[in-house]
Structure 1
Amino acid sequence: MTRTASEPAVAVAEAGSRSRALGGGAAIALTAVALALVAAWHLSQGTSGVGAGELLQVLTGGGTDDARNVLWGSRLPRLAAGVAVGVALGVAGVLMQTLARNPLASPDTLGVTAGSYLAVTAVAAFGIAVPLWASGLLAFAGGLAAAGIVLGLAGGAGTSSTRLVLAGSALALAFQALTSALLILFQEETKGLLAWGSGSLAQLNLDAALRALPLIAVAVAAALLLSHRLDVFSLGDDLAKSLGVPLGSTRVSGILLAVALSATAVTLAGPIGFVGLCAPVLARLLARWVPALERHAFRLPAAGLIGAVLVLGADAVLRAVLGAAAAVSVPTGVATTLAGAIVLVVLARGLRGGSTQAARVRAAARSARRFWITLAVLSAALVAVVILGALAGNTMLRTGDLALWLQGTAPPPIALALDERAPRVLAAILAGAALALAGGITQSISRNPLADPGLLGITGGAGLGAVLVVTGGLAGTVGITVAATVGSLLAFALVYGLSWRGGLSADRLVLIGIGGSAGATALTTFFLLRADPWNTPAIYTWLSGTTYGRSFAQVLPVLIVLAVAVPLVLAARREVDLIALDEDTPRALGVRLERTRLGLLALAAVLAAASVTAVGVVGFVGLLAPHAARALVGARTARFLPTAAVLGAVLVGVADAVGRTVIAPAQLPAGLMVALLGAPYFVWLLWRTRDA
């Protein structure tokens, strides 16, 4: 029998394929062993004092009734929930990263988790009694809507990492604002959802996990059936089409499966953050040593098992460090979010490019006459907002009442109301001006039109510093001011230092800032949940941005910082204009680029910190106001920054007044109102620049 010349090559190829399969199978087996070891450690922990030996006796058919009750009523339900959630999020992350062709895509960065959480919270807030399967469908609908919106805004599959993460972050902020509003307005109906909202494995019994596991198994099996298509899909649209892969149905099927897995995880254990990002990344890193993991038939189960290891490992480490009793109050999602933030920073550090791209938002040239007219109109609007803020509230006052108060002759009820409202109005407008100024500086210096102090981790660091002081019992004005300032400066220094890699890349700066902000948020939640439960609602409201209970002493730091910052920025207007162009022009004209950039960004950090001491954590102002100012008066620093400051003051002032009156006597924090007002603008901005 003769042998053709191609037979040796075929034999070698088949041998290589078998070798890769064995390598992939061995990697999955080792991961399963690691999961079994972590699961055993996880089972041995708990608050009951039942040890591993007693549990082993139960598993072998013996043991006491107490040990049996602990195992089946507490330990196994928590373990099953951790495995189910980890597998679901790990597989969902692989699907999203492949279909978006983006290593930073995940249920968190696509806003899926936030959308699912909002849907579940809304059901609880409005008292709608639904079975578990219906809650899963609602979570699925919310997550699917979020994923569709984010991919549409970012420009579809294959969009840049920065645009995808920014679109997801913006939508997540909007959904979180809506969720926070529901948590504040319906405190009784949503009791317990705050801790659950950070991801908790606590279960009453095995029922929920047993209902979720079959759904997850079916979705994972369906994903495995798509594995060959996904392998070809990841090569690019043109090649996939030429090889006969139906792009549309593959993308739709994969996204539906990913959202179904994410929604099931949210329904079971709440939004456990960043597992869907970390698990696929670790599986991809393992592919350097096990090439078989490049194939989705192996990567999908490997990422699922790694996700389960991450969730159970984070839960076990948390209980080992804090103790089982203390760890009860800290959601597992806090630990996974912190780990995910680190992974995001590491990935962003790997981005190439030492110089930033020019800003892609174009601002038409405007005349000086237009600038002065615009500034005059906005100043008049600011005066109107101040008057509105003083008169509006639980009890509507008249301008005559305000005049009497200014003269010191107002009746006691009116004087009491205005004494309470005046510092609130002043805090809102000064904090708005500081945030807008900080946002304008950040956008110009980083040359990223989508950056603001919140996205760069500055406000997150300030909020963390302030919460550390409040929960530590040092909640005085001086303590909060100092802590918020130190927190923002440390966060800024960390983000700036990690972003520097032979130059400052705008994409790298924003992505690392988002990672830093997520880490600060996780730590803030950690300290918040470990604080005195009686203080939790007040602290949570403060973190949502509020002027409630403000005094003139808390307003004074913002006034001082603004009084110093405005002249400094206007004096450096030439340098800001030059740095906003590119890297080479300022150097050619004698500007000390890095020194000037560092000083201006530090000034933005101080401005953001000062605003936090006055109104808490408020987002979107540093993004909205500078953009609107450029559209009105052009991009010259001497014109758009003062205009942005006045616009920011008007925006936060209006948000504060509306939040105090729209559902009076209850109140919505100004930060939530700004997020609800600002999110649509950011959506429009991303839509407008999606083809850039």
Structure 2
Amino acid sequence: MSTLTSAEVPVTPLRRVGTAGVFLLTLAAVVLLAAVHVTQGNADVGALDLLSGVLGGSDEGARVLLASRLPRLLAAVAVGAALGAAGSLMQSIARNPMASPDTLAVSAGAYLAVAAAAAFGLSLPLALSGGLALFGGLAAAALVLALSGGGRTGTTRLILAGSATALALGSLTNLVMILFEEATHGLFAWGSGSLVQSDLNAVAQLGPLIVACLLAAMLVGPKVDILGLGDDTAAVLGVNVRRLRLGLTVLAVVLSAAAVTIAGPIGFVGLCAPVIVRLLPKSIPGLHRNRSLLPLSALTGAIIVIGSDILLRALLGAQAGVDVPPGVVTTLLGAGVMIWLARRYRDAGPTRQPPAVRTVAARSRRAYLVIVAVCLTLLAAALVLGMLGGDRWLLTGDVANWLQGRTGRALTFVLDQRYPRVLAAVLAGAALAVAGAAVQAVCRNPLAEPGVLGVTAGAGVGAIALLAFVPLAGVWSMSAVAFAGALAAFAVVYGLSWRGGLNSDRLVLIGVAVQAACTAVTILIIVKSNPWNTAMALTWLSGSTYGRVPVQLIPVALALVVSIPLLAWLRRDLDLLSLNEDTPRVLGVPLEPVRLAALGASVLLTSTAVSAVGVVGFVGLIAPHAARALVGARHSRVLPVAVLLGAVLVSLADTLGRTVIAPAQVPAGLVTALIGTPYFVWLLWRSRAR
């Protein structure tokens, strides 16, 4: 990432304060917010009662302070400081201002490890629980950094690698919570952080570890400053770059794991805190050296967490401090910071090139027709397998008799329930594949898909809101609301991405930020409307065909009928658009109308697919890329093959999900995520090598 494009920083009073003054002001802000924080709570105990309790005049005030409010406050301070410092270290390691425990999937890895332990009924002591979270976070961070070249090969690659890894780990976590609902009860809301503490044990045990990591990181601060000059320069100046980077990564992950162990994954604090500190005037002596930057980021992280908790309870009431995770507020804040960064920063030089993924040369017409025939055969086989498979396996003769109306009541009931599910999976897979092909052409990035533009999450917000507040709403209402949510998310992403033109990298980065914000809103809706029915919400957010009826298939079928001819008509423009920015202009292609038409079709297809089967990930990534690998890059051939491959993928995922652990079921979206993640990892690794 290059430095800020703004001109000289204006003169501000902070320049005359100095580094010590900035520290004192930040510390004073922490103390002031802490004083406000302890006055909030469910108990009818005010500030005077608490003060009296501290002075020994009120037993009730002392009891409330020690049993509830002080543990919550200290947890907020510890978690904020740990995440702020971890984010500062990760940004220094990657030399990328968008690196954080969230974008590197550290929190997702730690969350999965804790959820898995809970699912198997393991009641671990705090030290072992923290070690388990450390292992999960370290594994996730190592994978993301390996795929993104340490984060130095471009922001887009880093964010895509982190988002995909977090999605895969989140899918595994959701699967664990669905299959072990009783054992993991309460972990859904905890997955966005919870500052509720019954005692001081967690902070007392992990607080010294956080302080030790901060001190260790500050000791090597001068070496980290040298590392910022570049690997070659640092090596010439005597810094062991590999050892230093490894040590800093371990420290950052330990800090993140400690935060997750205390309060769960509280999102985007590690992104926001260092960015806010780096906005301070550079003329203040020593302020932007790591020995100052690190503790300031820790204090700023504490301010963000405490302030978010205060804001949450001030707006939604004291009970919201128990019901609503503070990570909802910090994620919304982090999404705003990420959008600001995406609009203000840009990659420099060769790292601005999108990830290159090799495609085959154009096939002959005969080879193309053979591939289409094979895909049609696979789709027919997937349809048959979908009708036969389930908690009760049937024979092809049973299906033939059912088609002729000659089956008994039991078989008729089973197949009447099964065929809408099979068709829903096929139609949704086809819709998501076409949407992915359109998005990849517009973004000129074979690793993009509708989900990274916020469209899928926006549709999910609309659908979950309708399910929560109008549970008896009809199919058309669901489709309309999902489309409205997807359209609103797309409008925000497109509008914020426009700065004298549409930059594909900026579009992806802002889309990921809007996706995170929509996910936070979805969690807020769920925990406020029906916190006890998280299985329903998780099933929907994981993509499921359970309980589908024929009328629910009509919107997605109509969307396909409208969108496929439109994109087929634009096929040559999409071919040119996927090359570069200049060629279409030279050849007279109206860029903005074509982009809007293609992305509008993608929004329509994605929203109707979400209304039909919920949120299904990776299909829009895998199917178009696999189609290009089979038939070349021409959209006249990519679109039909992608339609068939998407339909096959979701159909097989749905069948596998309802047969592998029958009578229990795995949502189709989780299966596609588990299938898609290795493929995505392979794509990133292959393009990294190239």
TM-score normalized by the length of structure 2 = 0.95
Residue 225 (structure 2) aligns with: 231
| Counterpart position of 1:28 | 23
Indicate which of 411, 430, 433 corresponds to 2:430. 433
- Name the stretch that deviates more: 363-372 or 187-196: 363-372
Residue 440 (structure 2) aligns with: 443
Change (3 A) 1:114 1:358: closer
Q: Which residue of 2 aligns with 1:379?
A: 376
Identity of aligned residues (%): 55
Q: What's 2:263 paired with?
A: 269
Per the alignment, residue 604 of structure 1 pairs with 602
Question: 1:22–1:228: structure 2 CA closer, same or farther, 3 Å change rule?
Answer: farther
Partner residue, 2:45: 50
Q: 1:303: how far off?
A: 0.3
The amino acid across from 1:411 in the alignment is: G
Structure 2 CA distance, aligned partners of 1:587 and 1:384?
44
Name the structure 1 match of 2:76: 82
Partner of 1:15: none
Asked if the contact 2:430/2:645 (under 8 Å) is kept, the reply is: yes
1-structure distance, mates of 2:256, 2:401: 58
**Residue 641 (structure 1) aligns with:** 639
Task: Report if the CA contact (8 A) 2:15-2:281 is conserved.
Answer: no
Offset, 1:22 = 7.6
Matches within 5 A, 1:610-625: 610-625=608-623
Contact 1:81 1:268 in 2 (8 A): yes
**Structure 1 residue corresponding to 2:207, chosen from 194, 199, 213:** 213
Say if 2:75 is the partner of 1:69. no
2:156 corresponds to which residue?
162
Q: Return 291-300 or 453-462, whichever deviates more.
A: 291-300
**Aligned counterpart for 2:323 among listed residues 302, 324, 329:** 329
Counterpart of 1:561, as a letter, is A
Name whichever of 446-455 and 531-540 sits farther off.
Answer: 531-540
Offset at 1:565? 1.0
Q: 1:493 aligns with which of 475, 484, 491?
A: 491
Deviation at 1:352, TM superposition (A): 3.9
Do structure 1's residue 652 and structure 2's residue 647 form an aligned pair? no
Q: What does the per-residue CA deviation read over 1:597-616, in whole Å, with 9 as the maximum and x for residues that have no partner?
A: 11111111111001001110
Q: Deviations over 1:1-40 (max 9, x none)?
A: xxxxxxxxxxxxxxxxxx9998212111110100011111
Shift of 1:505: 1.2
The amino acid across from 2:499 in the alignment is R
| TM-score using structure 1 length | 0.95
For the 8 Å contact 1:20–1:292, the answer to whether it is kept is no
* Contact 2:154 2:347 (8 Å CA) reproduced: no
Equivalent residues of 1:155, 1:691 under 8 A apart: no
Q: How far off is 1:591 after superposition?
A: 1.6
How far apart in 1 are the matches of 2:265 and 2:474?
Answer: 34
CA-CA distance at 1:368 after TM superposition: 1.6
Q: Hey, what does 1:524 align to over in structure 2?
A: 522
Alpha-carbon distance in 2 for matches of 1:524, 1:444: 29
Q: 2:284 aligns with which of 278, 281, 290?
A: 290
Matched, 1:396 2:390: no
Give the 5 Å matches for 1:71-470: 71-288=65-282, 290-352=284-346, 357=353, 360-365=356-361, 366-470=363-467
Equivalent positions of 1:467-616 (< 5 A) are 467-474=464-471, 475-616=473-614
The 3-state SS of whatever aligns with 2:136 is helix
Structure 1: where are the runs of 5+ without partners? 1-18
Aligned residue pair count: 673
Look up the SS of the partner of 1:31 in the other structure: helix
Amino acid at match of 2:445: N
TM-superposition CA deviations, 1:130-156 (whole Å, max 9, x none): 211001111111111111111111112
What SS does the aligned partner of 1:156 have? helix
Partner of 2:34: 39
Indicate conservation of the 8 Å contact 2:181/2:535, yes or no: no
The answer to whether the 8 Å contact 2:151/2:158 transfers is no
TM-superposed CA distance for 1:571, in Å, is: 1.3
Equivalent residue in structure 1 for 2:685, among 684, 687, 692: 687
Output the CA distance in 1 between the equivalents of 2:401 and 2:468.
40
State the alpha-carbon separation in 1 of the partners of residues 570 and 469 from structure 2.
Answer: 39
Name whichever of 307-316 and 584-593 sits farther off.
584-593
**SS in structure 2 of the partner of residue 611 of structure 1:** helix
Consecutive unaligned residues of structure 2, counting only runs of 5 or more, are 1-13
Q: Displacement, 1:539?
A: 2.2
Q: Which amino acid aligns with 1:176?
A: G
Cα deviation code 1:575-619 (max 9, x no counterpart): 111111222222222221111111111111111001001110011
Q: CA deviation at 1:354?
A: 12
Instruction: Give the Å deviation of 1:157.
Output: 4.7
Q: CA deviation at 1:357?
A: 4.8
Cα deviations by residue, 1:551-574 (Å, 9 ceiling, x for unpaired): 111111011110111111111111
- Alpha-carbon RMSD across the aligned residues, in angstroms, is 1.7
In the alignment, the residues of structure 2 paired with residue 636 and residue 642 of structure 1 have an alpha-carbon distance, to the nearest angstrom, of 11
Deviation at 1:535, TM superposition (A): 4.0
Q: Cα gap change, 1:563/1:204 in structure 2, threshold over 3 Å: closer, same or farther? A: same
Q: 2:425 touches 2:650 (CA, 8 Å); kept in 1?
A: yes
Contact 1:364 1:631 in 2 (8 A): yes
State the one-letter code of the partner of 1:632. L
Instruction: Pick closer, same or farther for the CA change 1:359–1:212 going to 2, 3 Å.
Output: closer
1:287 shift after superposition? 4.0
Letter of the structure 2 residue corresponding to residue 125 of structure 1: A
Change beyond 3 A, Cα 1:510–1:390: same
Which amino acid letter does the alignment assign opposite residue 271 of structure 1?
P
Per-residue CA distance 1:505-525 (angstroms, 9 max, x = gap): 111110000000000000000
